[in-house]
Amino acid sequence: KNQVEQSPQSLIILEGKNCTLQCNYTVSPFSNLRWYKQDTGRGPVSLTIMTFSENTKSNGRYTATLDADTKQSSLHITASQLSDSASYICVVRLNAGNMLTFGGGTRLMVKP
Residue 98 within binding range of other proteins, rule CB under 8 A: yes
> What are the backbone dihedrals phi and psi of residue 83, each rounded to the nearest 5 degrees, phi first?
-70, -10
Q: Which helix (H) or strand (E) holds 75?
A: strand 72-77
- Segment contacting other proteins (CB under 8 A): 13-21, 53-61, 70-78, 103-111? 103-111
- Segment contacting other proteins (CB under 8 A): 21-29, 31-39, 61-69, 75-83? 31-39
Q: Is 16 left (phi over 0), alpha (psi -120 to 50) or beta?
A: left
**Shortest distance, CB of residue 105 to other proteins, whole angstroms?**
6
C-beta of residue 30 within 8 angstroms of C-beta of residue 69:
no
Applying CB under 8 A, the residues found at the interface with other proteins are 32, 34, 36, 41-46, 49, 89, 91, 93, 97-100, 102-105
